[in-house]
């Protein structure tokens, strides 16, 4: 199924997405299509996106929506479950993970408040399965005051990602940064317009190897 075609043809519950997100979704989510998986979607919106993910990933996918609006319970069906609570509440997130297990994919499309985005990442990223995807979207809000953002404002998730790039490369800092759980358990970071994607998994082989004949130097 082509996600963007589905989005354009949608006549059901509303889906609000930026057009340029769809190639990002396809790039990072396609390997999960047709597989058993648990996806936590933070922010249920109008209920249409959970239907899109259900149809995209297939009959073995379980979509768990998180929202503070109790009306979102109406979006539940056989594959879509909704739990009501704050994305920044570790106890609530712990209850969700205890109930449904570690997620394979987390998509943060929640409040977009920088405090909430950071708090959710603090608790949930380390609970993601190895090989899983953590995607934060609508990060243009990291530059907007009303979301706790601002250009180069300390504490925004964009500024945190800049620090995480250094942390990700801790092995090469000659002791300036010690390895962390994040640096050891993160395979890659991808920065897009308004979107950051983390691929969690065993670190890549970082050895430096020379092959070929030294006489050709």
Task: List active site positions.
Answer: 112
Q: Residue written as tokens 């395979």?
A: 187
Structure tokens at 198: 């983390």
Measure the N-to-C terminal CA separation of the chain; round to a whole number of Å: 50
Half-sphere exposure of 68 (CA within 13 A, CB side): 8
Q: Three-state DSSP class for 102?
A: coil
Helix locations, 111-198, DSSP H: 114-124, 157-168, 181-185
Residue 150 backbone dihedrals phi, psi, to 5 degrees = 155, 150
Task: Give Cβ neighbours of residue 85 (< 8 Å, ≥ 6 apart).
Answer: 66, 68, 92, 93, 95, 96
């Amino acid at each position: 199924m082509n996600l963007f075609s589905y989005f354009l043809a949608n006549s059901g519950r509303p889906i609000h997405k930026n057009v340029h997100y769809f190639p990002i979704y396809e790039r990072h989510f396609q390997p999960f299509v047709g597989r058993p998986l648990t996806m936590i979607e933070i922010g249920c919106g109008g209920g249409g996106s959970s239907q899109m993910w259900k149809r995209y990933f297939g009959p073995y996918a379980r979509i768990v929506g998180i929202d503070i609006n109790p009306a979102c319970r109406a979006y539940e069906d056989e594959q879509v479950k909704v739990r009501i609570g704050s994305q920044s509440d570790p106890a609530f997130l712990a209850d969700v993970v205890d109930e449904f297990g570690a997620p394979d994919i987390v998509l943060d499309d929640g409040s977009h408040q920088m405090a909430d985005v950071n708090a959710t990442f603090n608790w949930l990223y380390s609970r993601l399965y190895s090989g899983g995807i953590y995607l934060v979207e609508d990060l243009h809000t990291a530059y907007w005051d009303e979301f706790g953002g601002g250009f180069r404002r300390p504490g925004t998730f964009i500024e945190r990602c800049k620090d995480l790039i250094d942390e990700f490369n801790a092995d090469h800092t000659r002791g300036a940064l010690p390895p962390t759980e994040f640096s050891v358990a993160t395979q890659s970071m991808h920065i897009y317009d308004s979107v950051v994607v983390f691929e969690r998994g065993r670190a890549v082989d970082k050895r430096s190897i020379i092959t070929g004949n030294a006489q050709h130097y």
